[in-house]
Amino acid sequence: MASDQLHITVIQPDIVWENKEANLLQYEKTISGISGPKHVVALPEMFSTGFSMAPERLAEPMDGTSVRWMADMAVKYRCILTGSLIIEEDGKYYNRMLWVQPDGKIGVYDKRHLFGYADEDKHYTKGETKLIAQVNGWRINLMVCYDLRFPVWSRNTGDDYDVLLYVANWPEVRSLAWKTLLQARAIENMSYVVGVNRVGKDGKDYNYSGDSSVFGPLGEQIWQQSNDVACHTVTLEKDLLLKTRSKLPFLQDADKFLLL
């Protein structure tokens, strides 16, 4: 059934470096405290470990502890849970974003653009296929961190999706790019954009300022949180999106990119 509203809860944590048990306990405590309606609960990139280049030690199969935990949380708290994990499949490692529904169905998106500056491309296999998930008549295009820098991959070529959702471990040193590009993706795609990041310091001594954000279809900032741990639910309005696209039909004039 279609809904005029979409309730997305953004969790911005201080991830404990490569400590799955501590992180999952922290997230359940946070999720259990969410009040009010929630369709989707979004966690950052590699939410159980931090942005680690040690998949040989940390990767899990699709029936592993963290995936089972996501499924349990989705059922227990009656929500869709999403975020990325280090997954091993067929002898390869993926930075995989999961879309875990309370009915047991799981959608997957493997990060397309691997961050060569941190040697991610030397440890992980890139994805080839997009995932536009659906909930209550809303279409959500799932993306991971570095994908944000490549607008063709997220291009709304007509009326493909309503929300762009980026989960990330994006360091403070490049926070200006994070905030600016999230807003730009909203403007150019006439879409809601949700960016989910982390705070604190990781095992490589990188600082994270969070700056998790939500932007409207004209690039208007709806919410943003910097520096502190946060759990915030934002309500997106379908009527605003449709009226904006109808009044300003910019998407009709977009170039039709072809990915080769």
Report which residue type is found at 149: R
Is 88 a residue of the active site? no
Catalytic residue among 60, 111, 120, 179: 111
Identify whether 231 is a catalytic site residue.
no
Helix (H) or strand (E) holding 42: strand 40-42
Is residue 128 annotated as part of the catalytic site, yes or no?
Answer: no
Other residues' Cβ atoms within 10 Å of the Cβ of residue 89: 15
CA distances from 224 to 12, 110, 204 (A): 11, 26, 26
The two three-digit tokens of residue 124, written as one number? 């992980």
- Quote the CA–CA distance of 29 and 222 in Å, as a whole number: 26
Residue pair 31/41 in contact (Cβ under 8 Å)? The answer is yes
Single out the catalytic residue among 18, 20, 45, 60.
45
Q: Which of 76, 84, 97 is nearest to 34 (CA)?
A: 76
Tell me which amino acid residue 156 is: N
Kindly name the residue from 18, 20, 120, 145 that is annotated as catalytic: 145
Would you name the residues annotated as active-site residues?
A: 45, 111, 145
